[in-house]
Chains A and B, each alone.
Chain A
Amino acid sequence: MSVRRWSVTLLAAFVTLLTVAPLLWMVSVSFMAPGEAAQFPPPLLPETPSLENYRTLFGTFGIGRFLANSLLVSTLATGLALLFTIPAGYAFAKLRFKGRDATFRLLVAALVVPGQIGMLPLFLELKAMGLVNSYAGALIPWLAGIFGIFLVRQYCLSIPDEMLEAARIDGASEGQILRRVVLPILTPIIVTLALFVFLGSWNDFMWPLIVLADQDLYTLPVALAAMSREHVQDNELMMAGAVVTTLPVLILFLALQRFYLSGLLTGSVKG
């Protein structure tokens, strides 16, 4: 069986290499001197690795500002999304109130509706609120996370009712129960949800593109898209920009991949 074992593993290694090759190449080219990559056959490794492109990015192009914007928007989006969705998800799972099931069914049905449908009116709505061209405008869509509510609710369903009843008998208020009893149990799903929202808002493109007009507010993807249109020829520089944009989320994912992948399955097995 050993031959079979090795051949399958070798095939997997080959497929994996093909898959991660674009990312490895991105990193490699980002260390090349300007113009070095424009050769045939394409060089795989830089002749003398240099940080020149990164210096240009942070110096001339001020990519630090966009990095800070992205960090700020994603962190706030994550915080706000957790604040809004965790209590709601718990309430839909465990608290009996009138209209709960009907409301929840409506929410699940609304999962089918892609967010882009309301984009144009949302823009007008935020314009009326004075939130166009502000960080707040970029954050708004992350407040309305139906998927997050769904995810938290699924997880909460497994909490035994007896546990909550016991807390009630001990005289805890509903809010105390949520904070002291439920939240500790929810830790894994909170990490998962936070990861989803953080990566999602970090990678989001269309909405920030629309709502952020001022360059000083650009998030990394919006800034990178603008730069890549102007600097089509500067491949090495663009690869460095891509590294700065995608490396933070890639590292975050690799560190917490267990939470991400388990959450993904909870989410996709919707009925």
Chain B
Amino acid sequence: MQVTRRHLTGALAALPLLPMLGACGARREGALTIWAMGNEGANLPELLKTLSLPANMPPIEVQPLPWTAAHEKLLTGFAGGSLPAIGQVGNSWIAEMAAIGAIAPVPASAEPILADQFAAVVDTNRIAGRTWAVPWYVDTRLQFYRKDLFARAGHAAPPADWTGWKAALHQVKRLAGDGNYALLYPLNEYEQLTTLALSAGARMLRDNGARGAFSDPEFKAALAFYKSLFDEGLAPLASSAQISNVWNEFARGYFSVFLSGPWTIGDMKSRLPAAMQGKWGTAPNPGPDGIGSAAPGGSSLVVFAGTENPGAAWEILTRLLSPAAQLDFHELTGSLPARRSVWREAGLASDAAVAPFATQLDHATPLPKVPEWERIVTEMQVVAERMVRGQLGVDAAAKEIDRRADRLLEKRRWMLDKGKAL
């Protein structure tokens, strides 16, 4: 019996080892960790070297995350209490991170780095009267178009108003010839429709983000315009997976306009054949009457709530946003700097392909800032695709999107009622 008990205690003795292993966090003692995604994460160590940080700073460790797994990682990190000190966060995730209390608001001492930034981008990071994140680089989506075809149709650039724009698309489609279209609006992507909606001035959610406002006349106008682009044969009924090679198709005239962000400029230069260079351009989005709008995008830097040394974290973050560091960052990654003064310095304002992005960012409107937003637009697009395929009318589609949005926002309404939501 004695030995049996010893045996039992032997096995049980292993159990206390587990919390010990648990406590054995692998993070280096005192080090300050930064999570960053993709290209930015890859170049951040290089950038940090140029910062000339004061000697009393803790050592910095950069952990790169793949973009496609970043959102999970941030939330798992929050759930497991293992968030680092500083993180790169996609601008569309900030509402969520703020709502769950994962990030700390920007302290007054760091406010100056927000000064010469694009207003709409900074506004994206303002929730409940506080700024939660510092824009690091910016982007937005606007139209890439075939200059040559538009020129042959008699337009130096796509017209800025919807009526003129659509008429020009009809001309371009005719020029491109049989079997071709004018526009690529993939049916599985929601950015095209939200861009039209923002251009039409739609608010999309109402009552402090508690309910859908997709039946507003502005959104319905956008929805009807979106539908007409397919009904009139300007855009193919296709999802992005069905377009195997965007570059080839664009070059051969299958479509002449598509919506994308600044990351596409590099691809255009490297993937289009030499003969096509000089035959493409970028232009701000069209609106009902004049330049339309877009959602400000990009990534921000945040300091996570409950980090041990917030002072040092904000110090590093502030330095990462200094004009010199922003310029280095642009040169290393090609990302568009958040600070406007750096745009001038980098000569971006005079780059014909990039300059329209500044114009568009000045005409940008933040999307509703609720954590449920990504799910809402995903549902919106499911309904919009059905509408385009002829299963629903515009009014019925708007109503259905509202119904789905209201359902997704049910928890938020409950939280708002209890005063728990931001």
Contacts and interface: CB of A to CB of B under 8 A. Distances in A.
A–B direct contact (CB < 8 Å): yes
Main secondary structure of the interface of A (DSSP, over half): helix
A68 B10 CA distance: 26
Interface in B1-23: 1-4, 6-7, 10-11, 14, 17-23
Contact of B3 (A174, A214, A226, A230): A174
A199 B6 CA distance: 30
Contacts of A213: 73, 76-77, 80, 82
A215 interface: yes
Given A83-B11, A87-B11, A175-B6, A136 B80 contact: no
B26 A210 contact: no
Interface in A149-183: 173-176, 178
Interface residues of A, number: 34
Contacts, number: 95
A63 to B, nearest CB: 14
Q: Residue among B4, B6, B18 with the most chain A CB within 10 A?
A: B18
B3 A130 contact: no
A216 B26 contact: yes
B56 interface: no
B66 A226 contact: yes
B36 to A, nearest CB: 12
A133 B6 CA distance: 32
A139 interface: yes
Contacts of B17: 136
B407 to A, nearest CB: 22
Q: How large is the interface on B (under 10, 10 to 19, 20 to 34, 35 or more residues)?
A: 35 or more
A178 B22 contact: no
Contacts of B108: none
Contacts of A123: 79
A229 B68 contact: yes
A81 to B, nearest CB: 11
A133 B14 CA distance: 19
Interface string B74-85: 001101111000
Closest 7 CB pairs of A and B: A175-B3, A132-B80, A216-B26, A229-B66, A134-B22, A133-B82, A136-B21
13 contacts: A127-B80, A135-B22, A136-B19, A173-B2, A174-B4, A175-B3, A175-B6, A210-B76, A213-B73, A213-B76, A215-B63, A229-B66, A229-B68
